[in-house]
């Protein structure tokens, strides 16, 4: 079991190392990178918009439900919503959802290419398949996932305000005042650091499982499921690790 | 050391496999195979399922690494080449896969243009011209704008051939080009590969089960049996071969045995072939005597 883990980890590192060679044709790599940006970024935008707005709305309602004391100003609700969304919900929850959306897409796409010998066909042409197929996916994820997290943060806070105002819990002015109270820019830095770490996990783990598929259609499904499960677990572990590392000293 | 490269004309061997071995765990798939794939000829690798022919082809193109021995392309040791060297050599290789391996999201034209886009510095107009030339050569000019999902299995194979030859390769590999095709379409594919090989003087290596391909296209045939090279010759030699394992594999049915006898009779009517066969038989008996 231990040896299998080290063997897999070694293969994973070799895969990453194998991506970094001189591109055969930079224009083709750029084209593939742009395609992946559209697939990963624009393709996931819809789900990110929906979950962020509802996530913000629910956070506002639940925070208001728990803060029933008259001694706590209502603007505190906005403050709690802001920090919850920026620190945790926007990066982690969004990335857990993206692990399912993008991760399964990457793993099944590469798995299908492997099973139908398309990867072999590209290899035979003298093209570095790791560089041409994996690197643009990983680079596009590293660019688009943090962008999606930023969008999720803004939409979550806006969704929280809309839900609060519509249900009469908090006024527009109180919400805006709360957002500005004790704002720490470091929290945004922390959220972005997490989003880069998660983007790396979301793109590399499914790439590894998809690229190394052996067998047929069943194995593609299994690889896709396994990659999403491993990605989610690693996101949670990384979330805890980064929080302990970057927030532990207050 | 091999001196075969010093031999004149058609005896110039393009791909040499020297004592190659390949195992998966305890299972030995290729057992010390030495063979040559000749220039300007259609070289066939035949054998029953599990005899090691696909592994042999994958080793030849570098999709699998050999455990021992080496493979030479035009006197260049492919086995010892570094990544950059292999990439350079692979630009001279075209391959048709069993499943055609076309890119699903690209049209037929884009599939054929892909290697040109990657490696050619020409203008878009020049590339399109070359793509249309190749598609025209495989009679698929009208299907240029279609997706792989919209064309038949035989057409996919022809697109695969067009993609494989678009960069004018020196070596063409075909993994079971007739699998899943009807006999008539198989004939078209065989004929196309044979014509392209002779037109462009390529070294073509085909991995096949198809007996029609063996009899019609086999300029040079390697028969594999349980991971070893059992027999080597051409499609004329095969008719008169005394190798029991080869005969059991090729002429498996009553119908094929009768067809073989008829072909033997036809060939004996040809005076030139009769003379050649006599000479070969005499040479064989001389060698036997010398050995005794």
Q: Are residues B112 and B163 in the same domain?
A: yes
Q: Cβ–Cβ contacts within 10 Å for residue A225, how many?
A: 15
Helix (H) or strand (E) holding B192: helix B183-200
Q: What's the pLDDT tens digit per position in A120-151?
A: 999 999 899 999 999 999 999 999 999 999 99
Q: How far is B271 from chain A (nearest CA, A)?
A: 45
Q: What percent of chain A has pLDDT over 70?
A: 98
Q: What CA–CA distance (Å, rounded) separates A223 from A215? A: 11
Q: Are residues B4 and B86 in the same domain?
A: yes
Q: What CA–CA distance (Å, rounded) separates A80 from A69? A: 15
Q: How far is B159 from chain A (nearest CA, A)?
A: 13
Q: How far is B49 from chain A (nearest CA, A)?
A: 17
Q: What's the pLDDT tens digit per position in A61-116?
A: 999 998 877 788 888 999 999 999 999 999 999 999 999 999 999 999 999 999 99
Whether residue B251 is contained in a domain is answered as: no
Q: What's the pLDDT tens digit per position in B153-180?
A: 889 999 999 999 999 899 999 998 888 8
Where on the phi/psi map is residue B100: left (φ > 0), alpha (ψ -120 to 50), or beta?
A: left
Alpha-carbon torsion (B74, B79, B85, B91), positive or negative: positive
The structural domain count of chain B equals: 2
Q: What are the CA-CA distances from residue B25 to residues A6, A14, A82, B22, B67 (Å)?
A: 20, 22, 57, 10, 11
Cβ-defined contact of A116 to B99 (cutoff 8 Å): yes
Q: Are residues B142 and B175 in the same domain?
A: no
* Prediction ipTM score: 0.82
Q: Are residues B41 and B152 in the same domain?
A: no
Q: What CA–CA distance (Å, rounded) separates A239 from A244? A: 9
Instruction: Name the pLDDT band for B9 (thresholds 50, 70, 90).
Output: very low
Contact B151, B113 (CB under 8 A): no
Cβ-defined contact of A125 to B91 (cutoff 8 Å): yes
Contact A9, A111 (CB under 8 A): no
Interface of B with A in 202-231 (CB under 8 A): none
Contact B177, B101 (CB under 8 A): no
Instruction: Name the pLDDT band for B219 (thresholds 50, 70, 90).
Output: confident
Helices (H), chain A: 2-19, 26-37, 43-66, 75-84, 94-98, 104-115, 118-124, 129, 135-166, 172-180, 185-211, 217-247
Residue B68 DSSP class: E
Out of A24, A118, A124, the one facing B61 most closely (by C-beta) is A124
Cβ-defined contact of A124 to B90 (cutoff 8 Å): yes
| pLDDT value, residue B4 | 43
> Whole-number mean pLDDT of chain A?
93
Domains, chain A, ordered by start: 82-155+181-247 (1.10.357)
Instruction: Name the pLDDT band for A250 (thresholds 50, 70, 90).
Output: low
Out of B97, B114, B118, the one facing A120 most closely (by C-beta) is B97
What is the reported pTM?
0.85
Per the listing, tokens 């391959």 go with B95
State whether residue A215 sits within 8 Å of chain B by CB: no
State whether residue B83 sits within 8 Å of chain A by CB: yes
Residue A239, classed as helix, strand or coil, is helix
Whether residue B1 is contained in a domain is answered as: yes
Q: In what order do the strands lie in the sheet with B27-38?
A: B27-38, B13-24, B68-73, B76-77
Instruction: Name the pLDDT band for B246 (thresholds 50, 70, 90).
Output: confident
State whether residue A28 sits within 8 Å of chain B by CB: yes
Domain that holds residue B221: 1-92+169-183+192-234
Q: How far is B91 from chain A (nearest CA, A)?
A: 6
Count of H helices and E strands in chain A? 12, 0
Out of B93, B98, B103, the one facing A124 most closely (by C-beta) is B93
In this model, does residue B226 exceed pLDDT 60? yes
């Amino acid at each position: 079991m231990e040896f299998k883990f080290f063997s897999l980890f070694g293969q994973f590192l070799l895969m990453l190392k194998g991506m970094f060679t001189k591109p055969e044709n930079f224009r083709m790599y750029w084209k593939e990178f742009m395609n992946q940006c559209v697939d990963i970024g624009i393709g996931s935008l819809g789900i990110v918009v929906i979950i962020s707005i509802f996530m913000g709305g629910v956070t506002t309602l639940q925070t208001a439900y728990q803060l029933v004391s008259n001694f706590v100003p209502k603007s505190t609700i906005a403050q709690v919503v802001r920090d919850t969304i920026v620190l945790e919900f926007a990066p982690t929850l969004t990335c857990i959802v993206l692990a399912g959306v993008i991760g399964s897409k990457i793993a099944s796409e590469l798995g299908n290419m492997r099973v139908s010998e398309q990867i072999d066909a590209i290899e035979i042409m003298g093209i570095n398949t790791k560089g041409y197929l994996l690197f643009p996916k990983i680079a596009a994820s590293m660019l688009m996932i943090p962008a999606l997290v930023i969008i999720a943060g803004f939409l979550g806070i806006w969704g929280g305000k809309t839900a609060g105002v519509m249900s009469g819990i908090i006024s527009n002015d109180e919400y805006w005042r709360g957002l500005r109270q004790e704002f720490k820019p470091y929290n945004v830095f922390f959220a972005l650091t997490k989003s880069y770490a998660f983007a790396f996990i979301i793109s590399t783990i499914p790439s590894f499982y998809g690229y190394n598929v052996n067998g047929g259609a069943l194995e593609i499904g299994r690889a896709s499921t396994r990659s999403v499960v491993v990605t989610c677990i690693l996101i949670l572990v990384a979330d805890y690790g980064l929080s302990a590392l970057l927030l532990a000293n207050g | 050391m091999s001196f075969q490269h010093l031999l004149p004309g058609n005896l110039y061997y393009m791909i040499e496999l020297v004592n190659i071995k390949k195992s998966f765990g305890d299972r030995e798939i290729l057992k010390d195979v030495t063979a040559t794939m000749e220039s300007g000829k259609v070289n066939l690798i035949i054998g029953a399922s599990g005899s090691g022919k696909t592994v042999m082809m994958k080793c030849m193109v570098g999709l699998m690494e050999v455990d021992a021995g080496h493979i030479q392309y035009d006197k260049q040791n492919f086995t010892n080449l570094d990544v950059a060297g292999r990439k350079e050599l692979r630009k001279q290789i075209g391959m048709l896969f069993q499943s055609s391996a076309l890119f699903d999201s690209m049209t037929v034209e884009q599939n054929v243009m892909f290697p040109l886009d990657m490696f050619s510095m020409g203008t878009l107009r020049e590339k399109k011209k070359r793509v249309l030339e190749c598609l025209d050569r495989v009679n698929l000019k009208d299907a240029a704008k279609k997706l792989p999902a919209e064309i038949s299995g035989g057409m996919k194979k022809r697109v695969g051939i067009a993609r494989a030859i678009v960069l004018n390769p020196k070596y063409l590999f075909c993994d079971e080009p007739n699998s899943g095709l009807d006999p008539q379409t198989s004939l078209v594919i065989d004929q196309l590969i044979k014509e392209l090989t002779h037109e462009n003087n390529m070294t073509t290596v085909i991995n096949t089960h198809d007996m029609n391909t063996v009899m019609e296209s086999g300029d040079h045939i390697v028969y594999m049996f349980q991971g070893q090279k059992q027999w080597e010759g051409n499609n004329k030699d095969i008719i008169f071969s005394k190798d029991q394992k080869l005969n059991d594999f090729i002429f498996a049915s009553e119908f094929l045995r009768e067809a073989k006898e008829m072909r033997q009779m036809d060939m004996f009517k040809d005076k030139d072939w009769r003379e050649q066969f006599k000479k070969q038989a005499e040479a064989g008996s001389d060698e036997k005597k010398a050995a005794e």
